Amino acid sequence: MSSHIPSSKIFQVDNSHFDLEELEKKLDKKSVIVVHATPLSDAALALLEKILSAINVQLNEDVLLVHLAADQKLPLGRLLRNAPIQLILNFSCNPKQLKMNIEGTKYAVLRFSECNFISSDSIEELQKNKQLKMLLWNALKTCALK
């Protein structure tokens, strides 16, 4: 992980040491969860920071980053019930990893109570493809965050 955003909270999910209650505590004042399938390079973090700042979300203040490897799972439903989340951005994690039945919904804004959920291609793919960036931007524009 890059360290150019020192105050951003990075949560490395590891099922052997996974503490959902600890994650919920870290979400106490966070409004956005970013879940990504691959470790983020400096360039990917910079793009993520730019994407989030365009919707007035500060990566180092409002975001909890969760790196979820392919063989790991994160029960987002429980987090949605127990934490004040406004937005979840999923960058290429399999919906089954998130314990959600949302296949085929890339770039659609799904609404769960007060939370918007958007699945996207990986940040690395967005870096290479301007059309994918525009799809994500169009989805994000429909999300009114407080």
Residue 69 vs residues 13, 15, 16: alpha-carbon distances, Å: 8, 10, 13
pLDDT greater at residue 31 or residue 44: 44
Gap between the Cα atoms of 66 and 75, Å rounded: 12
Containing H/E element for 128? helix 123-128
Which positions ≥6 away from 14 have C-beta within 8 Å?
Answer: 72
Gap between the Cα atoms of 32 and 35, Å rounded: 10
Predicted local confidence at residue 23, as pLDDT:
67
Tens of pLDDT along 118-128? 999 999 999 99
Highest mean pLDDT among 27-31, 66-70, 76-80, 123-127 belongs to: 123-127
Local confidence band at 30 (pLDDT 50, 70, 90 cut-offs): low
CATH architecture observed for domain 9-141: 3-Layer(aba) Sandwich (3.40)
